[in-house]
């Protein structure tokens, strides 16, 4: 599972420490931090068996009409697959409640699930994103850089509303494109 460092600003020295310790020799990827309900999808033998909130509550029945959550993936896989992502709605920010999902007036067809990663992946993050897309998932816009200083520039562009404008966001996320290190660094105002 991911370990998350959440500084208040990019100027926090912990970003430099994070980069030096965990990502110095890795390509960096930057993605939007999307506002919404973070969930874990669990597939067994390619069949969706659960949609879990962070408190481990299974809300699968409340998400069945969200078209961007496939009920079947790569049926040749004979293992359990877990995928982390966010359910969101534009332009209104979706709340984090199962009750909101269950409301009669919630149009689940307007909700979107966007996949960020599979938790038991043994490949680097960009390869993992490509696999998720092959399975039919929407994945976020993902920017790449080898220069940690460019992450600061991307953060400033996000603050100015120049990148990731197609999503409701409250920050950006920086990750090492690594198969081993799964540390995530969140940059929020």
Question: In DSSP terms, which residues pair with 9 in a beta bridge?
Answer: none
Question: At residue 156, does pLDDT exceed 80?
Answer: yes
For residue 177, the Cα-to-chain-centroid distance in whole angstroms is: 14
Planar angle of CA 35, 144, 120, nearest 5 degrees:
65
Q: What is the pLDDT of residue 93?
A: 47
Task: Write the CATH number for 142.
Answer: 3.30.470.30
Residues 6 or more apart whose CB falls under 8 angstroms from that of 189 comprise: 8, 9, 159, 171
Q: What is the pLDDT of residue 1?
A: 34
Among the residues of the chain, which ranges form H helices?
Answer: 13-18, 98-102, 125-134, 148-159
Taking alpha carbons only, the member of 66, 69, 71 closest to residue 49 is 71
Structural domain of 150:
4-187
Instruction: Report the predicted TM-score, pTM, of the whole model to 2 decimal places.
Output: 0.81
Give the total number of structural domains in the chain: 1
Q: Which two tokens stand for residue 57?
A: 């509550």
Residue scoring higher pLDDT (121 or 78): 121
The distance between the two most distant Cα atoms of the chain, rounded to a whole number of Å, is 50
Q: What is the pLDDT of residues 45-92, one digit of tens each?
A: 999 999 999 889 999 998 988 989 999 998 676 688 999 999 998 654
């Amino acid at each position: 599972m991911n370990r998350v460092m959440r500084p208040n600003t990019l100027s926090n020295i912990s970003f430099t420490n994070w980069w030096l310790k965990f990502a110095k020799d890795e390509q960096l990827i930057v993605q939007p931090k999307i506002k919404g309900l973070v969930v874990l999808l669990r597939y067994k033998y390619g069949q969706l068996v659960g949609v879990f909130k962070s408190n481990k509550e299974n809300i699968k029945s409340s998400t069945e009409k969200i078209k961007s959550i496939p009920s079947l993936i790569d049926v040749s896989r004979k293992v359990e697959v877990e995928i982390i992502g966010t359910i969101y709605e534009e332009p209104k920010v979706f709340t984090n409640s199962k009750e909101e999902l269950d409301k009669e007036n919630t149009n689940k067809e307007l909700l979107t699930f966007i996949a960020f990663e599979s938790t038991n992946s043994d490949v680097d993050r960009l390869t993992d994103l490509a696999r998720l897309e092959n399975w039919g998932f929407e994945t976020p816009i993902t920017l790449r850089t080898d220069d940690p200083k460019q992450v600061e520039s991307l953060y400033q562009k996000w603050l100015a509303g120049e990148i990731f404008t197609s999503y409701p966001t409250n920050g950006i996320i920086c990750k090492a494109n690594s198969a081993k290190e799964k540390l995530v660094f969140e940059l929020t105002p």
